[in-house]
Amino acid sequence: MKGYGGFESRKKRSSLRPVPDYDKVTPTRDRLTELLKELKKSRLSPRTVGMLRKLAGLAPVIRLVINLKTVLGLMAQGNVTNILVEGITDDERRVLLEISGSGLSGQSKETAHALFGLDGRMRAVTSLHSTFRKARTARSQELSEKEINEIMED
């Protein structure tokens, strides 16, 4: 799935809203099965179906790692204040927007949102905000490869 872990521009504002209770949903086998059955019948884009299909096939801990890696990369690029604007990639936003306007059931929409771990991303952003702010303000505190080589050769 090209771009899933990418860190595309997040400047766009969107009307994306989380579905109710997405943060209370655990993507169980039954919920994932129902989501996949609905996706099979839907007219959603192959890209959207592919991304949700891939996420549904991952162990929860692997999904967590992917989602946290994505939000950490986005935090490194800039401040994340709204998880639905700056805390997801453009590809993820497109998927969530497409399913929000689809004929999927409310339960399947909740499951799809839960696959992106938005709640976990927000908790990570909240807890790491000051750490990232400090690191971003410490620019030019690294050594160039040339400087490292000169030091190491002495």
> Sign (positive/negative) of CA torsion 69, 74, 77, 79?
negative
- Please state which of the ranges 26-30, 66-70, 90-94, 136-140 shows the lowest mean pLDDT: 136-140
Predicted pLDDT at 6: 37
34: left (phi over 0), alpha (psi -120 to 50) or beta: alpha
Confidence of residue 43 (pLDDT cuts 50, 70, 90): very high
Q: Does position 7 have pLDDT exceeding 60, yes or no? A: no
Predicted pLDDT at 23: 62
Domain ranges of the chain: 25-153
Confidence of residue 4 (pLDDT cuts 50, 70, 90): very low
CA 36, 37, 38, 40: dihedral to nearest 10 degrees? 80
pLDDT: which is higher, 17 or 81 = 81
pLDDT in tens, 89-115: 999 999 999 998 888 999 999 999 999
Predicted pLDDT at 142: 86
pLDDT: which is higher, 103 or 138 = 103
Instruction: Quote the CA–CA distance of 52 and 119 in Å, as a whole number.
Output: 17
Mean pLDDT of 72-94: 90
Mean pLDDT of 13-24: 61
Structure tokens at 14: 């969107």
Q: Does position 18 have pLDDT exceeding 80, yes or no? A: no
Q: Please state, for a pLDDT cut of 70, what percent of the chain lies above it.
A: 84
Q: How far is CA 17 from CA 21, 33, 62, 65, 99, in A?
A: 12, 24, 25, 23, 11
Predicted pLDDT at 31: 95
